[in-house]
A = this chain, B = another copy of it.
Amino acid sequence: MNSVLVVDDDPHIVRALAITLKGQGYTVTTATDGESALHAAAQRPVNVVILDLGLPDIDGTTVIARLREWSAVPILVLSARHGSGDKVEALDAGADDYITKPFGLDELLARLRAILRRNTESSGETAVIETSSFTADLSKRQITKSGQDVRLTPTEWNILDIMVRNPDKLITQQQLLTEVWGPAYAKEANYLRVYMAQLRRKLEVEPGTPRHFITEPGMGYRFVP
């Protein structure tokens, strides 16, 4: 899922971090000097770099600067030095966070989560659902059918949103009614029939014989991509 590049000149630290991170579900690549770190980062895109400043060959700040020449990958810096001069230098060179050794593993992991959260949020995951007759982009709130944009009213969109987020799953009428209109309308099955017809007319190839918005008689509806 998330890939991390760990760079430290001490093999023990590298190994300990690698084991911990793998245990958390990260994919881990390692390097013990600046050159191989830059090489590794160029070989395979990573989601975040954990970088020790005290490397044998290149100065840590230089590594950051060289990385920043072509990559915007988040960098989390480790350092044994407590002086604030190093911190300022590293952060201004383009690092995203800075921890001084010795550090708690839980803190490192928390900062890692914070960095990754920021990153995935801003890049905006594109959740796109495709069917044989239309395409739905949930983040853009946009529907396309054979190249043509389809306009949905708010209520239509609410229903579609729920259906599409639960593919192949049966959704009872009460679920839909309470989610869209509120619990007070749980008995108004009429509304559903009207709006399901609207959706089918707008999105199905043959609204008469629906292929994606399936009625399960007596129970509810089912969306099949």
Instruction: Identify the A interface with B (CB < 8 A).
Output: 72, 74, 84-85, 87-88, 91-92, 94-98, 104, 106-107, 109-111, 113-114, 117-119, 121-123, 139-142, 151, 153-154, 157, 168-170, 216-219, 222
Contacts and interface: CB of A to CB of B under 8 A. Distances in A.
A71 to B, nearest CB: 12
Contacts of A170: 140-142
B110 A87 contact: yes
A216 to B, nearest CB: 7
Given A153-B217, A218-B153, A218-B154, A110 B122 contact: no
A169 B139 contact: yes
Nearest to A118: B96
A110 B88 contact: yes
A97 B117 CA distance: 12
Number of chain copies forming the complex: 2
Contacts of A122: 72, 119, 122-123
Given A141-B170, A154-B218, A169-B139, A113 B91 contact: yes
Contacts of A169: 139-142
Contacts of A92: 110, 113-114
B123 A106 contact: no
Contacts of A111: 87, 91, 98
A20 to B, nearest CB: 14
A110 B217 CA distance: 42
Given A153-B217, A218-B153, A88 B106 contact: yes
